[in-house]
A and B are shown apart, each in its own frame.
Chain A
Amino acid sequence: MLRLLRAILGRSYPRIIGANRDKSWLFYDTVLPLLGTIAFVYVYKALGAPERFVGYVIMGGATVAFWMNVMWSMAAQFYWDKQGGNLELYMVVPCGIPAILLGMSFGGFVGTVIRAIAIVAIGSLLFDVHYTVSQWPVFLLVFGVAIVGLYGLGVTFASLFLLWGREAWHMANLFMEPVFFLSGFYFPVRALGFWAGMGASLIPLTLALDAMRQLLFPGTHPPFLPLGTELGILAALAISFIVLARFLLRKMEYLARREGRLSLRF
């Protein structure tokens, strides 16, 4: 257990401390989602939309930071590690891959939450957006459950990407705008219709964003599902992704070892 904890902390260290040492990382991780967010804010301004839509976009911008972290620093991480020669080292250390992934998740979450707060704070100050959080404990619960589900999905993807070479980079790239669209990062997901929205709900951020918008803009946000239902589905997704990640990780690690892809760079 102690070894596991040490491995988790050890792997999260470069993401919490190391990433903040390089100021360019901090700049790009905050400014890049913020630039896209501001562009979408101006779209709503050009359309003459009510203020809450600007709030939707700023929330979406913060969520982009989490999604990018999960796709590029969780799902595709083993691809980078192959390039850098770290993956073989992870395979031979006695803590096992799950501890490495947990450390990546924990470190990634802490690093990203700082950037997401910066995005919300700067965006809200720039455009004078106000939020009314009606139930803080429920808000934090939704956020927490969604994060568990999201990083569970990240570990699931990481195990799938373990087999890939160049495809990993392209697949992570593929899951950007289509996911921003399906999950309603910049508009209420209800606009997609019930069945499309339910399909998109496989991505934990879809229901998490809708639930948090219900709590941030009470009475004005058109809900996709009742808050309690969304929380229940999010919890079920979180558990499912953890179980699936565990299963897939074993399976894919075995396949990668058998097919000799662990050190295949290109």
Chain B
Amino acid sequence: MEAADRLRPESAFASWWRTVRVAYWLGWQVESNWTDPLLFFIYSIARPLGGALILVFMYFVVSRGGRGDMLGFFLVGSAFWPFVIAGMMGMAWGIISDREHWKTLKYVYTSPISYRAYLVGRSLAQATSATAATAITLLFGRWVLQIPLHLSSMDIPYALVAFALGITSIMALGFVVVSAAMSISGEAWRMPEGVGAALYLICGAIFPVTVLPAVLQDLAQAIPLTWWLEAMRRGLLGAGGLRSFPWSSDLQVLAIFAAVTAVWVAGGVLVFSYAEQRARALGILDRESGY
């Protein structure tokens, strides 16, 4: 690049996008370059596949080998949950490891980039590492467990819209968790795991939310991940599958999901702005917590 080009003012979007791309590359390197590609691939799929197999065997032990709608419900939830772990929890662990492990937070934060764009890029890199696990789990379900994941019965556009909204909602949740990680120092690195475990319980990841007590069912409806997983199941398994919200139509699910996501995106941005300002004012932005 010529010196004159470098000095030319860059549009806000171009700068934001460049930061996302570079942060994505950095996040991918941090995530994957500790080993060779084959071991990284095995590592990427082993945990999610192990989680899915636990559910499959729990199902077979109770049903004595029979098959039913619940198996598809388990599988789609297990297949897409790694995106939540990687995207949301990964964003929080990214900031914590930058702050306490690599000790690079202050340098990244003071560079002339959007820190939000940096976090989005890091989170997307983490989410990418979940793709292989999702694909393998779905293929396993289709070809080994004979779950009706047929292209002919899938609503692909619906699933794609739901997926895009899902990634957006994961980012929004990630910003909220990052805000909390900025504000606490002691044991910050375990907090994202706690949030992930709580969401796993109440978002209908592995069982319909109708099984939960009424209070938790109401809470589940306020969290976009519940609607995301419901929408992904409707998009991939077609009509007739088990539902977390049997009272709503497919379009209703997508509309409510979009609205809940919009609220969380706005909330995530606000909470992050507040936490960022507070951390700067208190001088705790790069405070270590004994990682």
Contacts and interface: CB of A to CB of B under 8 A. Distances in A.
A83 B102 CA distance: 11
B198 to A, nearest CB: 6
B28 to A, nearest CB: 15
A181 B57 contact: yes
A47 B54 contact: no
Contacts of B47: 173-174, 176-178
A47 B50 contact: no
B207 interface: yes
B186 interface: yes
B59 A47 contact: yes
A217 interface: no
A249 to B, nearest CB: 24
Interface in A145-183: 165-167, 170, 173-174, 176-182
Given A22-B186, A24-B186, A174-B46, A36 B54 contact: no
**Shortest Cβ-Cβ A-B pairs, 3 listed:** A177-B50, A178-B50, A35-B197
B34 A192 contact: no
A38 B58 contact: no
Given A22-B187, A35-B201, A43 B207 contact: yes
B12 interface: no
Interface of A: 22, 24-25, 28, 31-32, 35-36, 38-40, 42-49, 53, 83, 165-167, 170, 173-174, 176-182, 185-188, 191-192
Contact of A177 (B54, B186, B207): B54
Contact of B197 (A36, A165, A188): A36
B41 interface: no
A39 B35 contact: no
B43 interface: yes
Interface of B: 34-35, 43, 46-51, 53-55, 57-63, 70, 74, 101, 186-187, 190, 193-194, 197-198, 200-201, 205-208, 211-212, 291
Nearest to B73: A46
Contacts of B53: 181
Contact of A188 (B43, B48, B61, B212): B61
B198 A35 contact: yes
A32 B193 contact: yes
Contact of B48 (A42, A44, A177): A177
Contact of A28 (B48, B51, B194): B194
A46 B70 contact: yes
Nearest to B207: A46
A188 B62 CA distance: 11
* Central interface residue in B34, B35, B48, B193, by most chain A CB within 10 Å: B34
8 contacts: A24-B190, A31-B197, A35-B201, A36-B200, A43-B58, A177-B47, A177-B50, A181-B50
Contact of B291 (A83, A179, A185, A186): A83
Contacts of A180: 50-51, 54
A35 B62 contact: no
A186 B47 CA distance: 16
A42 B220 CA distance: 15
Contacts of A28: 187, 190, 193-194
Given A32-B197, A35-B200, A42-B201, 4 more contacts: A24-B186, A39-B206, A53-B61, A174-B46
Contact of B62 (A40, A48, A177): A48
A166 B58 CA distance: 34
A31 B58 contact: no
A57 to B, nearest CB: 9
Given A47-B59, A166-B34, A167-B35, A32 B194 contact: yes
Contacts of A177: 46-48, 50-51, 54
Nearest to B199: A35
Nearest to B209: A42
Interface centre among B43, B55, B190, B201 (most CB of A within 10 A): B201
